[in-house]
Amino acid sequence: MKALQYTAYGRNPVVNDVPEPVPGPGEILVRVAGAALNPLDVKIGAGRVQEYFPINFPSIVGTDLAGTVERIGPGVKGWGIGDAVITRTDPTVGGAVAEYAVVPATSLVAAPTMTSLDIAAGLATAAATAWQAVTEIAELKSGQKVLVHAGAGGVGSFVIQLAHRTGAHVVTTVSNAAAEIVRKLGADEIIDYTSVDFRTAVSDVDVVVDSVGGETEVRSLDVLKPGGLLVSLPVPPDFERAAARGLRAEFVFHASDAERLAKVVAIANEGFDVVVDRTVRLSGAADAFDYLAQGHAKGKVIVQP
């Protein structure tokens, strides 16, 4: 089969011919309909997260996949050939950007029906992380004001939808080109980060969900109300700086979790939009990986093996 592989840290991944994997005890072989790329894949390939997610080379790229059950390993119960499934693999294992992937049967969740199977892959990391940030960490409530940075990004596009669903007032930073996308997702106020310092446009915020980091994280402290919460995604935030200002800060550490993914799938079926920047064939996966690495995707980049 063909698969997108890392061959060394710091080298662009390449599409190679590799043996089709065989499911062992407790495992299932999935025929991949779609694999979604994430910034984490880029960080793994660059060797920037070796401490947490070391990989052995060569290694197949990607954690997020949706597809159909192709073969069932010994001892697996509850799944049948042809079932539509979605999963997020362990980042140290990867394996998603390929024609077939072997995954633990316990990691699988029945795929959502609200979108096509290939696009559903886009939920696995981004929507589940958004759920963790909005529901589990921030415990966002109706009437609260939330500032979502990078609202058109993979995670941000789901954060907006979840926040809107809770009845929160949603303010988001995007570039002008993405304004229509986030308006449709439920944003109440839209700030063009390329021309406006968001601190002049929003204040008294209960929760900031920050997928950008750096200066954006530091400035976010200026718009939070006393006791407000900064939820950071790219790296752990400066907890001491926040505490010194009477604010709270939390880092999201998203781990693959079938139970959480099942909750996200259930909500998705009630009406989630998976914003898709582009879909590409496996032959174009290396270019798509480069594109995602530039940090300007509007929604998800999906590879269709």
Find the shortest distance in angstroms from Cβ 300 to ligand NAP.
7
Q: Which is nearer to ligand NAP, 32 or 155 (CB)?
A: 155
Q: Which of 154, 191, 189, 155 is nearest to 170 (CA)?
A: 189
Separation between Cα atoms, residue 304 and residue 115, nearest integer Å: 14
Q: Which is nearer to ligand NAP, 1 or 46 (CB)?
A: 46
In this structure, the strands spanning 100-104 and 145-149 are: unpaired
User: Residue 136 has what DSSP assignment?
Assistant: I
Find the shortest distance in angstroms from Cβ 33 to ligand NAP.
20
Separation between Cα atoms, residue 149 and residue 142, nearest integer Å: 19
Separation between Cα atoms, residue 75 and residue 56, nearest integer Å: 28
Find the shortest distance in angstroms from Cβ 32 to ligand NAP.
20
Q: Which is nearer to ligand NAP, 67 or 156 (CB)?
A: 156
Find the shortest distance in angstroms from Cβ 152 to ligand NAP.
4
Separation between Cα atoms, residue 81 and residue 68, nearest integer Å: 7
Separation between Cα atoms, residue 212 and residue 299, nearest integer Å: 15
Find the shortest distance in angstroms from Cβ 49 to ligand NAP.
9
Chain positions contacting ligand NAP, by CB under 6 A: 38-40, 125-126, 129, 149-150, 152-156, 173-175, 178, 193, 211-212, 216, 233-234, 252-254, 292, 295-298
Find the shortest distance in angstroms from Cβ 17 to ligand NAP.
29
Q: Which of 47, 76, 271, 277 is nearest to 178 (CA)?
A: 277
Q: Which is nearer to ligand NAP, 28 or 36 (CB)?
A: 36
Q: Which is nearer to ligand NAP, 100 or 272 (CB)?
A: 272
Residue nearest ligand NAP, Cβ-based: 153
Q: Which of 99, 87, 91, 101 is nearest to 16 (CA)?
A: 99
Find the shortest distance in angstroms from Cβ 254 to ligand NAP.
3
Find the shortest distance in angstroms from Cβ 91 to ligand NAP.
10
Count CA within 13 A, CB hemisphere, residue 289: 27
Q: Which is nearer to ligand NAP, 79 or 251 (CB)?
A: 251
Q: Which is nearer to ligand NAP, 126 or 249 (CB)?
A: 126
For the sheet containing 59-60, what is the strand order? Answer: 14-17, 2-6, 59-60
Q: Which is nearer to ligand NAP, 113 or 203 (CB)?
A: 203
Q: Which of 166, 66, 70, 68 is nearest to 123 (CA)?
A: 66
Q: How many helices (H) and strands (E) does the chain have?
A: 9, 16
